[in-house]
Each structure stands twice: as structure tokens, then as C-alpha cells.
């Protein structure tokens, strides 16, 4: 199911074209591509959550990366990455009413994750083979932090996202999603 979804995705640039090839090959060569048992790489899902006017993005201040970021998480064995994305968005922000705006996957990227400590245990550097989905949410809906993952949750003006983010390597991905948002 996931392999077919990725195969169907039409890349928008060279980065997505190359990442798509690597993702398909990774799925074909690794039985544990959906779990953290694969210490080199595994799949994750992320969310680009915009308001109805497409002028703001709902972001969290991530505990580990110490930066404003999108929401998302590990597949942890679930091949339905849309389900993973929805679940993570709700868990990390408290928003319950999400309307899918993308027709399936909206963005593909292979992301590096630096070594870090999580829940008192060291996690080695690895890759996230990530699929992103675009959702709409009501910015008046109640939001809340998830203390074990983020310090804050807020709506950020879409044209100020890259100013708010301290992870420079994420800015091209966020810019790609900002451009996609303009076409919705």
C-alpha cells in the first residue's frame, strides 16, 4: 500500500525525484522499513496544517530540536501514513477537526535526524523517510501542548514560518509546502 502510494506521487523537483527512488528501493530491500527496529532509517509522516484562509500554519516548538516545526511522527508499523499523520497532529496540538487538502501525499523528503537523548535513552543519528500531508484546521479551535514533545503550539503567519524556524535544513521543505499551499 505505501509503496504504491509513493509510486503514484508526482515529484515537484529533483529532491523529490531522487528521494522517491530511494524510498521505493528502501521498501523493496528492508522488511522493517516501518519500524524503529531499523536503526538506519524508517518511515515517518508529517503535517502541514493551514488555516482556512491559508495565511497561517499550525506549528509546535519541538523539545528535541528546540525550534518551531511541523507536527508528525514515526510510522511504528502502521503502513497508513495518512492515519499516522492525523494521529500525530491531534496528539501534538489538540486539534481534532482536520480536513485533508492534499490528494494523498503532498511532499516527500528524506530527513536527517541527529543523535539525541529521548526519554533518558540515546538515539543514534538516522534517516526519516517522510511523507507529508496538508490539512486545514480552524484556527479558533482549542489547541494545547504535549509536554513530552513540545513546549508550545501556535499559529504562525505563513510568510514568517522560515523566520521562526531555527533548523536551516528544514527551510527548503517548508518553503516547498508554502508554495504548494498557494495552489490549494
Q: In a 3-state reduction of DSSP, which class is residue 180?
A: helix
pLDDT at 102 over 90: no
- Tens digit of pLDDT for each residue in 4-55? 999 999 999 999 999 999 999 999 999 999 999 999 999 999 999 999 999 9
Q: Give mean pLDDT, residues 81-107.
A: 95
- Tens digit of pLDDT for each residue in 43-85? 999 999 999 999 999 999 998 888 999 999 999 999 999 999 9
Residue 108 CA to residue 181 CA, distance in Å, equals: 15
Residue 36 CA to residue 77 CA, distance in Å, equals: 9
In this predicted structure, what is the pLDDT of residue 119? 82
* Helix residue spans in 30-143 (DSSP H): 81-93
Q: Give mean pLDDT, residues 92-103.
A: 94
The domain spans of the chain are 2-182
Q: 133-163: b or e for each residue (b if 16 or more CB lie within 10 Å)?
A: bbbbbebeeebebbeebbeebbbbebeebbe
Q: How far apart are the first and last CA of the chain?
A: 26
pTM, two decimal places: 0.94
In this predicted structure, what is the pLDDT of residue 170? 95
Q: Provide the CATH number for the domain formed by 2-182 in this structure.
A: 3.90.79.10
Q: Quote the distance between the C-alpha of residue 138 and its chain's center.
A: 19
In this predicted structure, what is the pLDDT of residue 172? 96
In this predicted structure, what is the pLDDT of residue 86? 96
- Tens digit of pLDDT for each residue in 112-168? 998 888 888 998 999 999 999 999 999 999 999 999 999 999 999 999 999 999 999
Phi/psi for 92 (5° steps) reads -85, -15
In this predicted structure, what is the pLDDT of residue 103? 83
In this predicted structure, what is the pLDDT of residue 117? 86
Amino acid at each position: 500500500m505505501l509503496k504504491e502510494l509513493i509510486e503514484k506521487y508526482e515529484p515537484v523537483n529533483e529532491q523529490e525525484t531522487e528521494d522517491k527512488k530511494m524510498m521505493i528501493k528502501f521498501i523493496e530491500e528492508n522488511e522493517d522499513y516501518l519500524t524503529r527496529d531499523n536503526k538506519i532509517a524508517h518511515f515517518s509522516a508529517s503535517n502541514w496544517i493551514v488555516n482556512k484562509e491559508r495565511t497561517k500554519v499550525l506549528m509546535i516548538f519541538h523539545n528535541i530540536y528546540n525550534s518551531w516545526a511541523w507536527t508528525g511522527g514515526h510510522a511504528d508499523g502502521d503502513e497508513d501514513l495518512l492515519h499516522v499523520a492525523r494521529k500525530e497532529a491531534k496528539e501534538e496540538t489538540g486539534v481534532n477537526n482536520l480536513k485533508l487538502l492534499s490528494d494523498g501525499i503532498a511532499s516527500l523528503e528524506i530527513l536527517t535526524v541527529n543523535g539525541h537523548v529521548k526519554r533518558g535513552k540515546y538515539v543514534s543519528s538516522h534517516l526519516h523517510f517522510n511523507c507529508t500531508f496538508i490539512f486545514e484546521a480552524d484556527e479558533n479551535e482549542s489547541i494545547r501542548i504535549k509536554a513530552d514533545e513540545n513546549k508550545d503550539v501556535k499559529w504562525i503567519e505563513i510568510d514568517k514560518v522560515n523566520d521562526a524556524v531555527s533548523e536551516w535544513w528544514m527551510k527548503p521543505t517548508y518553503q516547498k509546502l508554502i508554495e504548494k499551499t498557494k495552489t490549494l
